[in-house]
Amino acid sequence: MKRIYGVDMGGTTIKLGCFDPLGVLQEKWEISTRKEGNGRYVFDDIAAAVKGHIQGSGLSLQAVAGIGIGLPASVREDGYIEQCVNIGFRELFPAAELSRRLERLPVACANDANVAALGEAWKGGGAGYDSMFLITLGTGVGGGAICGGKMLTGSKGLAGEIGHMIVRPEEAEVCNCGNRGCLEQVASATGLVREAGRILAESEAASILRQVRPLTAKDVLDAAKTGDSLAVQAAERMGFYLAWAMSSVTHILDPAVFVLGGGVSKAGSYLIDCIRGPYERMTNLSFRKAEIHLAVLGNDAGIYGAARLMLEEGLF
């Protein structure tokens, strides 16, 4: 039985997984991301890691169907990327670079958020649904759309970038993207902490958050679960803006299910409850609302989705 490798390329570590054709994870591991020389060593390191695993498993390159890669960059339909800012390389074809180092094994690549969405749709919180939208809530807000079981990437690889949807145009601070009022500014972990800080500054009400330094998104959500009024206000504000963005996605793509991942999603059902009410009020065109699930695969979503790319691209 042939094997598939899934690679999730990050700015600090590169996660790798070996799968059988049914999507059963055989083994996973990670290596450090060497960003020296604008990432010139990254593809050498991935190739070495794959070759090392193949040899250690008693396999051969002929026993490998191919490799999928998710990387933090916009990937054109032809596989070209202009730049990968978190790692440093630019203007190249990542799949071709890795394939050349692995005796021309088939390689497919895509944006990491889209690949994570593909993984959750295949074996995670979106399994069994034909359409899904993944929202990752971490330091930023990422997204990925699955329609008809396939990734929706757009003409420039920007489809699913829900974190930079404008939801609060009156926002004074500037987002990392250069705009103001992005969803990421109010619904990411950092955004939630900033909102909580603003609420604390505007009110004299008692709150356990006033004694917490440094304040984290987990602190805010944990306090909200206990009924702390200012923490609840911050959490509900985040839920409102997430619902706003999700209602816009619904009216464009109409996914059957939203899947919430990332560190903030560890708030679990409380987070879903903050979203569900305003979301349902904002989507009046259908009585049947999209379901809202929590992600299942966690940090493994990227390697699962990267492996699934081999099926998606028809390379296996």
DSSP-assigned states of every residue in 26-37 = EEEEEEE---HH
Residue 271: CATH number of its domain: 3.30.420.40
Q: Which residue has the tokens 């839920």?
A: 239
| Structural domain count of the chain | 2
pLDDT grade for 87, boundaries at 50, 70 and 90: confident
Q: What is the pLDDT of residue 313?
A: 61
One domain, residues 290 and 307:
no
> What is the domain range of residue 153?
128-295
- What's this model's pTM, rounded to 2 decimal places? 0.85
One domain, residues 166 and 260:
yes
One domain, residues 132 and 114:
no
DSSP 268: T
Under 8 Å between Cβ of 70 and 110: yes
Closest by CA position to 156, among listed 93, 73, 94? 73
Q: What is the mean pLDDT of residues 3-27?
A: 92
On whether residue 196 sits in a domain, the answer given is: yes
One domain, residues 289 and 147:
yes
One domain, residues 266 and 201:
yes
Average pLDDT for the chain: 92
3 state DSSP class of 57: coil
For the chain, give the percent of residues with pLDDT over 90: 72
Residue 226, number of CB atoms within 10 A of its CB: 9
Q: What is the pLDDT of residue 312?
A: 67
On whether residue 254 sits in a domain, the answer given is: yes
On whether residue 70 sits in a domain, the answer given is: yes
Q: What is the pLDDT of residue 11?
A: 82
On whether residue 123 sits in a domain, the answer given is: no
> What whole-number distance in Å separates Cα of residue 111 and Cα of residue 86?
13
pLDDT per position as a tens digit, 92-119: 999 999 999 999 999 999 988 899 999 9
> Which DSSP helix (H) or strand (E) runs through 50?
helix 42-56
Residue 73, number of CB atoms within 10 A of its CB: 22
Q: What is the pLDDT of residue 30?
A: 95
On whether residue 148 sits in a domain, the answer given is: yes
3 state DSSP class of 179: coil
pLDDT grade for 54, boundaries at 50, 70 and 90: very high
Under 8 Å between Cβ of 17 and 6: yes
pLDDT per position as a tens digit, 204-238: 999 999 999 999 999 999 999 999 999 999 999 99
Strand partners, 118: none
> What whole-number distance in Å separates Cα of residue 125 and Cα of residue 104?
34
Q: Which residues contact 237 (CB under 8 A, 6 or more apart)?
A: 186, 195, 199
Q: What is the pLDDT of residue 89?
A: 86
On whether residue 78 sits in a domain, the answer given is: yes
One domain, residues 135 and 79:
no
> What whole-number distance in Å separates Cα of residue 61 and Cα of residue 3?
10
Q: Which residues contact 53 (CB under 8 A, 6 or more apart)?
A: 5, 16, 18, 27, 29
One domain, residues 171 and 65:
no
One domain, residues 110 and 157:
no
First to last CA, the chain: 12
One domain, residues 275 and 305:
no
On whether residue 51 sits in a domain, the answer given is: yes
One domain, residues 142 and 156:
yes
One domain, residues 139 and 55:
no
Q: Which residue has the tokens 């996973």?
A: 28
On whether residue 156 sits in a domain, the answer given is: yes
- What letter represents residue 297's amino acid? L
Q: Has residue 84 got a pLDDT over 90?
A: no
One domain, residues 183 and 307:
no
Q: Has residue 50 got a pLDDT over 80?
A: yes
Per-residue 3-state assignment (H helix, E strand, C coil) for 231-265: HHHHHHHHHHHHHHHHHHHHHHHCCCEEEEECHHH
Under 8 Å between Cβ of 181 and 164: no
